[in-house]
Amino acid sequence: MRCGAFGDIVLLTALIRQLHTRFGQLVDIIASGPWTVPLLQGQTGVGEIRFARFRRIPHFLVREQRELIRWIRDRGPGPAWFCDRGVGSELLRAGGLTANHLVDSRQFPWVHGEHFVDRWIRLANLTPAAFEGQLPLASSQVASTAVIDIDAAKRVALDSWLRERSLDGRSMIVFQIASRRRLRRWLPRKKKPSDKYWPEDRWIDVIRAVRGRHPDHALVLLGASKEFELNERIRQAAQMPDVYNVADNLPIHTLLPLLERASGMISVDTGPAHAAAALGCPTVALFGDADPDLYRPGGPHTPAVALLGHSQDPARRGQLDIAGISVENVMDAWESLANARNGRFRAA
């Protein structure tokens, strides 16, 4: 059970694959909503996907939660891994799973400097108390990266999507400018480091700089529909050729093969950056106050650079702040990735 955001579920693929490796069985998932289906369905080791939405509302008031509880009861009291912060564990208890049936991530200490991917792999190798001595021990371990599988059908569908946008056959560099955390708020409020907001004028300068270094690549601005207007404002202000805003129609089943095909990505610290790195796409991620030791895109061994900035506000001097990242910082990181993976940055 993990009811996290997009990036959290990408990182969870390491635990799923390790459990699948350990037991040789598919792993049933309880997550937060239907968007997890196009992300996880068909991935290595994934079985049924169920949802636990509205977790702060008593389960007897939510039909979906009552159905989830019945499903848990029908499965019987097997081993389970609870990978959340607490809200939702009562659904497992209502379904008949006691603390002895769980590897509860809240009960296990953190290891200094350990990435979430390695933590999930470590927890996947633990055994719930009720099954001690009854379950196979881990005989091998998956690599310390999140992994996303892209099947042939998704690649074919992407080809059609690209043709519709005159992007077929093009080498692409992609940008994720906004974080959903920022844009889903109803009312504007003072920006904080955790908002993952990087000033628009700097995005404009980065797009211009990337265009200067890669004149033959299409530059593609990603996002959900709520991000289209922001992307369009930046695209028009940049006044660069071959910049495409695709946030009007970019479902997850299209986003994933697009990230796989892209030459590289520049992004705020958000879910698509984790997916890109997991797919082997060289990724520069701009962090706010999150810890890259925990959240480096895709895991500790992906082609990614996690950038940190520090506040220039005298009242907060020295504290982490995404606004402290300069355009030069981003382009230096970009050049380091381009030099390390030169073949991927050549135009098609």
**pLDDT over 70 (residue 37):** yes
Residue-level pLDDT at 182? 54
Cα–Cα distance for residue pair 217/210, rounded to 1 Å: 9
CB burial string 227-243: b at 16+ within 10 A, e below? bbebbeebbeebeeebb
Are 13 and 29 a contacting pair, CB within 8 Å? no
Residue-level pLDDT at 189? 45
Lookup: tokens for 324: 């402290």
Question: pLDDT grade, residue 201 (50/70/90)?
Answer: very high
Q: What's the per-residue H, E or C state across 114-134? A: CCHHHHHHHHHCCCCHHHCCC
For the question of whether the overall pTM of this predicted structure is more than 0.75, the answer is yes
DSSP state letter for 227 = G
Tens digits of residue pLDDT in 118-160: 999 999 999 999 999 999 999 899 999 999 999 999 999 999 9
Secondary structure of residue 29 in the 3-state scheme:
strand
Q: How far is CA 322 from CA 7, 12, 191, 316, 319, in A?
A: 18, 25, 10, 13, 10
| 74 contacts: CB under 8 Å, gap ≥ 6 | none
Name the CATH code of domain 152-345 (choices 3.40.50.10490, 3.40.50.2000, 3.90.1310.10, 2.60.40.420): 3.40.50.2000
Looking at the DSSP assignment, which residues form a beta bridge with residue 219? 173, 243
Residue-level pLDDT at 191? 55
Residue-level pLDDT at 58? 74
Residue-level pLDDT at 340? 84
Tens digits of residue pLDDT in 219-247: 999 999 999 999 999 999 999 999 999 99
Residue 178 host element (H or E): none
Q: Within 13 A of 162's CA, how many CA atoms are on the CB side?
A: 20
**pLDDT over 70 (residue 69):** yes
pLDDT greater at residue 34 or residue 271: 271
Are 2 and 50 a contacting pair, CB within 8 Å? no
